[in-house]
Structure 1
């Protein structure tokens, strides 16, 4: 066994050496390749009345280089040939504005503010006519932790922007994830949000690329949601991500003009929701900017008992100290009280082989009106961005997260026969999660010889503390499904709770990491990415009821990442491939013979290749890819001993399309196939991994009328399909797949918007892939005032 570990350590060392050797050889081989110098062009576009001009085409005349302004009117065009160029700014259907610019190699040129002849109302009309791909938003600094276009990035990711979130009247964070190919969103029994991605469960504890502590985010503060796919340990570590990927919540940022909107939403199940988003400069020179988002949400349930009440406030402050230094402060303050839902146990003691057989209607709650979870989340972030010079930038970020679960009564129906189950309750609380994440990144954009490098070098420190009081309340009652099922009475639960002994636990861990990633242009079209992370994990022994345990340990992991991109058609079509690694720390185990076995970190390795497109002036964007994720060193039990040779393989393919084929029509579509099986284990070899569907499909088609008669009216239609999966590792009990059909009707003016939305129009009783019931049909209406 020792030789096996030495072999693994040697293999990792050889991989790191290979990465370094490849980097050096690429630099030497191509340093003399003659290429013309290039620079970046950035700027701001405004309307004639001084408002930011979003979704305006900006391009370099006579080339394929171009971009689209974001909501704040900002744009950047990267890798423009040096020398005199003509910048073309054009609002579709109106006269273009042409501006001469002199591009300097290896520098970023800031163009003076471009003022269109059209005002904000005219711009709004153009957007209403649908001349832009409104739902395509893949410009990000987070996926690679440096500015990198989608077509330059060998990793696959999807983005759901706030335009799509608003059009679909999304009030539950997990519903935004339904727009991502290959993703099945879930809520856990306590109400926390997560998703299944590429066969693995992911949580929502990443915000702007940093760690946060929150179970239930409100969508009010979302600029977009990024789903970054595949094991991403090299740049994001092990504590925040799964082997299938991660969910990054990108929040709204302040900008330089006064703007805002307020909205009220009502609908089925006593839904009442008020939101506000207000942005304003705080001084005359617009260097101090404030944006505040807030939401008050109250909702009942489609079941016999239940509620969801939450309040959110998210102030964001930006201070431009000078041309080089920008400071930011963000806070997310959330209070949630929501009913908990039942999670079935021991179904193997019944004859049921499908959740459809269970004789409990979807509308029947197995809890009670005040059997709930009470949570408070306080997350703070500070950042400093400093331009060291034209080539190097420093980014410093610190986040502090605190999530307190005051109480959570979780319900576990424990089946004893086809018609009876014990209604067991576990009480959690107070349960306090506290984390601190500090990160220092340096990014450079420079040439070695004629070879362009975009280099990231970073340090990351993460600490996490959990304090938990847990009480096993035990059996509340015995339910006979042939009789009416009463609600749980909180007073009776508390009476039982008072007779029980609770357990108090404290856990602490820390990680200290260093990483580097270099994106190298071998030619103008061929790009390679070479990345590596060294991670030191420290686990402090758990303290249980005042007694210190023996599970303290330290572990070091090395996580490499490689990728390539070849642009078949520059700025339009890329071929890509990647090797990515994820890891999870594994604690030592005391074996039956008294010896202690120390294990290596659990590793997942992905190979992937595919195509990315941003064609027809970005009217069509899409990704097609095939991936293979292998785990070859999972721990398993054999003859009572723990050994580290377990194997699992998750493989599949994904297709994503975001398109604006004709004016007014926008399409978001996706399909994914996943095959995730246990290869080598103590039992159930060859079985599918539990609670992982094999097929996923999503569609949303939106049309805004462009004629005079129905101008400003729009329709949306779509839904989701998720296939069957197995509830347990034995692959005996099936969770049935589901199809959700949704539709919307909206009227959108420059100053106000009205939307009617129907969710699950077929009123089908469905289960998530965790076996939890999902809402029946819901009709909602929303009114928004924009100013």
Structure 2
């Protein structure tokens, strides 16, 4: 028999705690208080009465939980939910397996650290306590080891307390489904919210633009060791490689996207890409499709990728992991978190890892060190300050890939065409300071400063563009010796206000961004395309080419660039009706770029400076209609901009590149599975190229267009079965061009189609409880390697699989990547290179949590 639960709470005095109701008299309030002593949900649903008074009452009777504490007692543990002078009332309870679940239907979570609360092993006999957001309000879930716990509940004006005691084995019903908890509790494969699309905490179903979220669980289940590989789960996104394989770069809806966000801050610069984000620091990846200049300024119209990092927790834990795999891959890592003071106001998170690996490519090896500590101090329940630091140090062999030529399809994928001693070394130090303050339940201020300081040194032999000679089998090379530095500074401030005008609900965002980027490059290169003294035979490479002397270098000098941006944005999310939501916003940007150069090419000096200014307004308008609870139909219009740092021969500054998108879509939430179907049309104008008749000047050549359909599916079919998948068709082409950029040519790295499907299944009961398997297929269609189109990278299907075992506080996992050893090309680069994908690879991981 399940033990009874003692309920010591009383019904709340709603008349005393509720705010004055809009469009309601005092008599109305009294009647409603007697009719609805318990609030069913915090958000109006279509099944509710549709009267404005009722909706206003529901919205204003929510109690905000500002803090959660778990303390050990003599008999078990005590869970304390603190509020801001408002009383909570438990509304229902249920027992599922070894879990006691208590629902609080008049509450919402607003914890200083954000997100939800989890703590493992709070006391003997109880494996975990979780306080999370549910469809009805707030849910408290307590899981026992042998049986469900019992709980006695008491309430005061400022808190609700649950005194829990571990259950005994004989109290548990036989045959009841048991819940398995391994590590931190999260939303699994189907997160319900993301901040990238609106910079507010908005449910995905209320966003009139395609956005996909890759949660932490998917990254772990697929054994991701390079964060860019996780993006293969999202429709319309393909990863791009570069010579170093050390940076994040993607193609989204046909457009090259190198501006990556980290917690909303831009990374990288025009002179050098950002270092690849370490997977162990990422909580989830949010991919917003289409123009995002309305909130983030200068970005391509295809979309943005935002890496949301892991944050401190009051619940202490200590994770240790070790990963090993094919080609000498080794990576020890740790993830620690918890309070640093007795009052738990100062908390920390520490992620650290060291990675060392060889490669399937001859002579290629890499090392990477990641140290990422985060501190958060809570001055009060409504004010917090978070300091985050990330140190990334990377060293790897400079790898040119293979030349863009059909002959490369017949070369072995381990063929190396640089020199074994070539190197690419990079260091990035990033600092983020964020102040978060809630003036009250309706007004919130968030202000953050970010600084990213990067240095890159590259030394090696590069393949010349279109430098392959089929008669000799040789490809010309140049020697490069370059140093880059890029400093990104940004200050962002958001003010978020929630209010009503009559029965219409508003969430207003007003903010600004002030940013500066300083980039510097110095070089001392050598090339001689006619004599090709540095050429290498692609069929029989011979290494050991001498490095050209400094005196012989014929491309030397420096280039410095400074970019400044000031942007103001305003956004209003309006609930016109419970099932009709309007999003309208705009951003006005002022951009200024200054550059100085002192270069010498083959004895000819180029010395001078340039200065460019531009400004643009980027709007977005969207509408969401929800005919029934789980279905959202949306349409939106949005624009993007990127300044053009170029002038015509007549001295006119060329207008910024502008992107315009029209998108319609349907989003459905069926239990714990979400489905998103979208169709879009994007046009990008004011694209420039070098003026063939006036060297040193540019001309606008026309426009490119991208059209397509995308489908994304993610969620939990059952407690055992997870799924994430995608399907897309895309046509990205030059709609207005010239001889060098022919009309109707397809954009590079823009596959015409793609699909992915990944599933895991974990046994929940019996002797094999915790044992699971995963399997997936990833398809990428044909891609053009360059413009004009004359080399096509063929389509491919890659299969992956995994087997894992979760038990108590430890986990063992084995991932099989490219299970069928498919020979394929991962991507191309616009400098004349293509990069083969890796062969069958085995990656094993063991982790333990204390």
Secondary structure in 2 matching 1:234: helix
- Does residue 579 (structure 1) correspond to residue 640 (structure 2)? The answer is no
- Residues 42 and 548 (structure 1), Cα distance of their counterparts in 2 relative to 1, 3 Å cut: farther
Mapped partners of 1:497, 1:366: distance in 2: 25
Task: Note the residue ranges of structure 1 that are not aligned, 5 or more in a row.
Answer: 1-31, 81-85, 103-108
Partner of 1:395: 446
Contact 2:154–2:162 (Cα < 8 Å) also in 1: no
Secondary structure in 1 matching 2:526: strand
- Does residue 322 (structure 1) correspond to residue 380 (structure 2)? The answer is yes
Mapped partners of 1:539, 1:724: distance in 2: 37
TM-score by length of 2: 0.79
- Does residue 201 (structure 1) correspond to residue 256 (structure 2)? The answer is yes
Partner of 2:460: 409
Contact 1:427–1:471 (Cα < 8 Å) also in 2: yes
- Does residue 653 (structure 1) correspond to residue 716 (structure 2)? The answer is no
Contact 1:234–1:533 (Cα < 8 Å) also in 2: yes
Q: 2:225 aligns with which of 171, 174, 183?
A: 171
Q: 1:296 aligns with which of 349, 354, 361?
A: 354
Secondary structure in 2 matching 1:761: coil
Contact 2:63–2:107 (Cα < 8 Å) also in 1: no
- Does residue 563 (structure 1) correspond to residue 563 (structure 2)? The answer is no
Q: 1:470 aligns with which of 516, 523, 529?
A: 523
Partner of 2:490: 437
Contact 2:431–2:451 (Cα < 8 Å) also in 1: yes
Displacement, 1:573?
Answer: 1.8
TM-score by length of 1: 0.85
Mapped partners of 1:62, 1:389: distance in 2: 18
After superposition, give the CA deviation of every residue in 1:45-93 in whole Å (9 maximum; x if it has no partner): 788657999x998866699999995657454569x8xxxxx86645799
Secondary structure in 2 matching 1:163: helix
- Does residue 272 (structure 1) correspond to residue 330 (structure 2)? The answer is yes
Task: Return the index of the structure with the highest Cα Rg.
Answer: 2
Displacement, 1:33?
Answer: 6.6
Displacement, 1:344?
Answer: 4.9
Secondary structure in 2 matching 1:177: helix
Partner of 1:231: 291
- Does residue 777 (structure 1) correspond to residue 833 (structure 2)? The answer is no
Partner of 2:613: 554
Mapped partners of 2:69, 2:296: distance in 1: 36
After superposition, give the CA deviation of every residue in 1:596-621 in whole Å (9 maximum; x if it has no partner): 123322111111111112222xx111
Contact 2:131–2:138 (Cα < 8 Å) also in 1: no
Mapped partners of 1:52, 1:493: distance in 2: 68
Secondary structure in 2 matching 1:36: helix
Displacement, 1:186?
Answer: 2.1
Mapped partners of 1:339, 1:578: distance in 2: 45
Displacement, 1:549?
Answer: 3.0
- Does residue 371 (structure 1) correspond to residue 408 (structure 2)? The answer is no
Secondary structure in 2 matching 1:772: strand
Secondary structure in 2 matching 1:151: helix
Displacement, 1:415?
Answer: 0.7
Contact 1:306–1:368 (Cα < 8 Å) also in 2: no
- Does residue 596 (structure 1) correspond to residue 659 (structure 2)? The answer is no
1:427-506 alignment runs, 5 A limit: 427-474=480-527, 475=532, 477-482=534-539, 484-488=540-544, 492-493=546-547, 495=549, 499-500=553-554, 502-506=556-560
Partner of 1:716: 774
- Does residue 678 (structure 1) correspond to residue 734 (structure 2)? The answer is yes
Displacement, 1:649?
Answer: 0.9
After superposition, give the CA deviation of every residue in 1:662-711 in whole Å (9 maximum; x if it has no partner): 33111111111111011111131112112211111111110001231311
After superposition, give the CA deviation of every residue in 1:138-171 in whole Å (9 maximum; x if it has no partner): 4223331111111111121111122221122211
Q: 1 or 2 for the larger relative contact order (CA 8 Å, sep ≥6)?
A: 1
Mapped partners of 1:341, 1:88: distance in 2: 52
Contact 2:150–2:166 (Cα < 8 Å) also in 1: no
- Residues 690 and 253 (structure 1), Cα distance of their counterparts in 2 relative to 1, 3 Å cut: same
Displacement, 1:237?
Answer: 0.5
Mapped partners of 1:272, 1:756: distance in 2: 14
- RMSD, aligned α-carbons: 3.5
Mapped partners of 1:164, 1:194: distance in 2: 20
Mapped partners of 2:690, 2:434: distance in 1: 46
Larger CA deviation: 93-102 vs 209-218:
93-102
Q: How many residues get paired?
A: 724
Partner of 1:15: none
- Residues 609 and 56 (structure 1), Cα distance of their counterparts in 2 relative to 1, 3 Å cut: farther
Displacement, 1:134?
Answer: 1.6
Displacement, 1:543?
Answer: 3.2
After superposition, give the CA deviation of every residue in 1:170-193 in whole Å (9 maximum; x if it has no partner): 111111212222211122113222
Partner of 2:849: 786
Mapped partners of 1:755, 1:498: distance in 2: 53
